[in-house]
Structure 1
Amino acid sequence: MLSLLKGIRVVEVGAVVLGPYAGQILADLGAEVVKVEPLEGDIARYAHPTGAGGGALFVNNNRNKKMVALDLKSPDGRAALTALIETADVIFHNMRVDAAERLGLGFEAVAAINPRVVHCAAIGFGQRGSYRDRPAFDDIIQAASGIAGLGAATAGEPRFVPTILADKVAALHAVYGILAALVARANGREGPIKVEVPMFEALAAFLLNEHLAAATFDPDGAVGYPRILSPHRRPFRTADGWIAVLPYTDRQWRAFLTEVERTDVIAQDWFADPRQRPAQIDTLYALVAEALPARTTDAWIEALEARDVPCSRVAELGDLLTDPHLAEIGFFDVPEGYGEGVVRMLPQPVVFEGVEASLDTAPRALGADSRQILRDCGLDERQIERLIAAGVVGAA
């Protein structure tokens, strides 16, 4: 855990992946992240597979946080939340807007309590459009944003990207939105700051970065980046497995074609013309696919790396656990005393040097920090014990 955000308190009312993933990044950067859960806990705590620290999905998204359990549907629970909001620099949630407002987590309600707060809501659809009240889950956003539809262009039918893409992309947008707001506040910006992160818009912008294409300049222009949408752009079969090969520059294509003894292609008029060659990408990819089964994956990697042609063997999920590069950088290392049962931990991939750091802490039990956090918010012991006895506050 780094010290870059030391002194910043973030109240995260998040569940499953989007909110917790963003909250963990902020916690890893040094913010004091207070995760507010319902009395039954974040459902990710119980998602299979589970270990000593709970579900793997929970363990991988909730380290370095403090845990408070509150019944936000009760007046006393909302009063405790109000006390917490008063002490916060950032309020962050990933629930539907109407639900947030019912629980006192809407922007206006939070700003009235804390006029210096950064309020970030990660939601399904932007509130200025007609989709604003639609429910949103990763599959729904992948479909609505065009991500799933890309499969129709390359594989004949729509398909989901097999990772929780929308949640994680939106979480990263939430992190930079929160950090930008904190910088503005540090530079003298007064008053509350509202940050809205819609999953749909985040994924649409993410996708269209390259695929807006000709529509960038022409209202009726075609969308789609041809090389990316080519059905021939895929991992290629070798004599004993699969490999990714990407000659991209003129030099790399010449090197590859020389290696496979197809210098006749280099002699074509279109090959040397950077405006014509992209139109021949299917021809070039087909040529790659035709050549690669002649050798093993290892043989191709040796030959192509010698010619500085970008390539990689195609790893499966399990291969990452024994990847030599990841082992050398300690990618999965778990700090001593981190927590029982955790044998691998995922780091933040951004590396900082010259920054004070401390050991990471494992995800905490449900309500583990309820008493201390409420004390910090000004409640006395009798008030806290009354709320616990009334079933409003959960305390481990």
Structure 2
Amino acid sequence: MGPLSGITILDLTSVLMGPYATQTLADMGADVVKVESPEGDIVRHIGPGRTPGMGGMFLNTNRGKRSIVIDLKQNDGREALLRLAARANALIYNVRPQAMARLGLSYEQVAAVNPGIVYLGAFGYGQDGPYAAKPAYDDLIQGAAGVPTLLAAAGDGTPRYVPITIADRIVGLMAVNAMLGALMHQQRTGEGQRIDVPMFESMASFVLVDHLGGLTYEPPLDHGGYARLLSRSRKPYRTSDGYLCVLIYNDKQWRSFFEAIDRTDFLAQPRFANHAARTRHIDEIYEEIGAIFLTRTTAEWRELLERADIPVMPMHSMESILDDPHLRAVGFFETVEHPVEGRVRQMKVPSTWSATQPQPGGPAPTLGGNGRDILTEAGFSSAEIERLGHSKAVHLPD
């Protein structure tokens, strides 16, 4: 029984940002009803899978949900959705608001059947600017928020995208944050509202916390950017036989490091006097420390650094992380039986709660596999359900 037990959320999202957000809400106990088009969420077909439409990425962003297939372009499909919305606490979508209006599912139209509903849109851009109607994808938002420029400055000068759909995940969590606040207000007052969570503005605020720097001031004190994060030598240290992730950060850690390697002479140098001095010389410091790390093996460095209480972690691959001793000890990965896919690996909710522990509520659903149950619970009669199935306004499972 998670903290959102008893809350019903209509999930009209697809791809990654919205489904990641609604999976988080489902883990908290919400009844998330995933409303899919007849073609299904495109992510069903990304990556390897045992059966069509059940790819690994889909399984990892849609667990704990129920699926119903509604053709929202049909009037009967739209009316069915509105009947579901009349009983829901919230509706979340991630297409452009203009598309929702064309479907007859704008906030005003949904609120007409349920004034208390939380109607949350997570899409590309705020609706008061010139980008309002533009499409948005993770790569585009990374670029607009300056991420490739930062990677170019920190690397070989070539702009690159982060090899994670990082904007989708970050903005998805911002949508969760907004939804939880709105649901708390709803539960206290009964009042619903519309919430827009734009990707561009959300990612810009996320990136600029680190990198606005001297541009915070008028007039500017510099050209922006946090020097330590932009150092081209800020990367896993190469050892004599591999790589290791180490961060020697504060005064105590630098002193401990140089004492551990018997090089206390470094401490007399002005560039190691304090954090500000180290930041000014960060490129040369990282380069010099990198040369020192080449002198020992990964295992030797881990033993030395852990003994000196200096932050160190292994550099995992996607395979080696599955055997990480800490993740194994906390039970991070578990193998479960999926009713269609058989044995699959899933990740636990990383936070720990003393009273209402969130947990995966069940496997990711097959396309439309819960349609009959969802309609029945919403008060549709057997005759209505069969009529919707016959007209293909709702695609029902066999």
**TM-score normalised to the size of structure 1?**
0.95
Query: Does 1:113 pair with 2:101?
Result: no
1:290 corresponds to 2:287: no
> Deviation of residue 215 (structure 1)?
1.9
Is the CA contact (8 Å cut-off) linking 1:154 and 1:230 kept in structure 2? yes
After superposition, the Cα gap between the structure-2 partners of 1:336 and 1:370, relative to the gap in structure 1 and judged at 3 Å, is: closer
Counterpart-to-counterpart distance in 2, 1:285 and 1:269: 16
**C-alpha deviation, 1:336, in angstroms:** 5.8
Structure 2 Cα separation of the partners of residues 336 and 389 of structure 1: 33
* Post-superposition offset of 1:344: 0.6
Tell which deviates more after alignment, 309-318 or 74-83.
309-318
Moved more, 78-87 or 191-200: 191-200
**Structure 1 residue 18 corresponds to structure 2 residue 17:** yes
Match of 2:356 in 1: 355
Aligned ranges 1:43-82 → 2 under 5 Å? 43-52=42-51, 54-82=54-82
One-letter amino acid matched to 2:3: L
Alignment of structure 1 residues 236-385 onto 2, 5 Å:
236-335=237-336, 340-355=341-356, 360-385=361-386
CA deviation digits over 1:195-218, x for unaligned, max 9?
Answer: 111111111111111111122233
Q: What displacement does 1:288 show?
A: 0.9
After superposition, the Cα gap between the structure-2 partners of 1:273 and 1:365, relative to the gap in structure 1 and judged at 3 Å, is: closer
Return the letter of the residue paired with 1:109: Q
Greater alpha carbon shift after TM alignment, 263-272 vs 332-341? 332-341
Give the total of aligned pairs: 394
**Aligned to 1:187, what secondary structure does the other structure show?**
helix
Unaligned runs of 5+ in 1: none
Q: Which amino acid aligns with 1:290?
A: A
Residue matched to 2:4: 5
Gap change, CA 1:369 and 1:77, over 3 Å in 2 = same
The CA deviation at 1:150 is 1.0
Give CA-to-partner distance per residue, 1:243-299, whole Å, 9 cap, x none.
122111101111112233332221123422443232121222122111011100010
**Which amino acid in structure 2 is aligned with residue 195 of structure 1?**
I
Question: C-alpha deviations, 1:44-95, integer Å up to 9, x for none?
Answer: 2222311247111111111111111000001010010110110110000011
For 1:343 and 1:337, locate their aligned partners in 2 and report how far apart those are by CA, in whole Å: 7
Post-superposition shift, 1:335? 4.2
State the shift of 1:128 in Å.
Answer: 1.6
Query: Matches of 2:2 and 2:271 in 1, distance apart?
Result: 55
Whole-angstrom CA distance in 1 between matches of 2:358 and 2:23: 15
The answer to whether the Cα contact below 8 Å between 2:233 and 2:286 also exists between their aligned partners in 1 is: yes
Q: CA 1:359 to 1:133, structure 2 compared with 1: closer, same or farther past 3 Å? A: closer
Give per-residue Cα distances to partners, 1:130-185, cap 9 Å, x unaligned: 11111111111111111121111111111110011111111100101000001112
CA distance in 2 between counterparts of 1:243 and 1:356 reads 34
Q: Distance in 2 between matches of 1:339 and 1:301?
A: 43
**Per the alignment, in what secondary structure is the counterpart of residue 344 of structure 1?**
strand
Q: Quick one: distance in 2 between partners of 1:318 and 1:356? A: 28
Q: Which moved more, 1:251-260 or 1:237-246?
A: 251-260
Give identity over the alignment, percent: 41
Distance 1:295 1:365 in 2: 51
Could you tell me which runs of 5 or more consecutive residues in structure 2 were left unpaired when the two chains were aligned: none
Q: Who is 1:131 aligned against?
A: 131
Query: Which secondary structure does the structure 1 equivalent of 2:92 belong to?
Result: strand
In structure 2, what is the equivalent of residue 96 of structure 1?
A: 96
Q: TM-score, normalised on structure 2? A: 0.94
What's the RMSD between the two structures over aligned residues?
1.7
Question: Which amino acid letter does the alignment assign opposite residue 59 of structure 1?
Answer: L
**2:148 equivalent in structure 1:** 148
Which is further off, 343-352 or 155-164?
Answer: 343-352
State the match for 1:191 in structure 2: 191
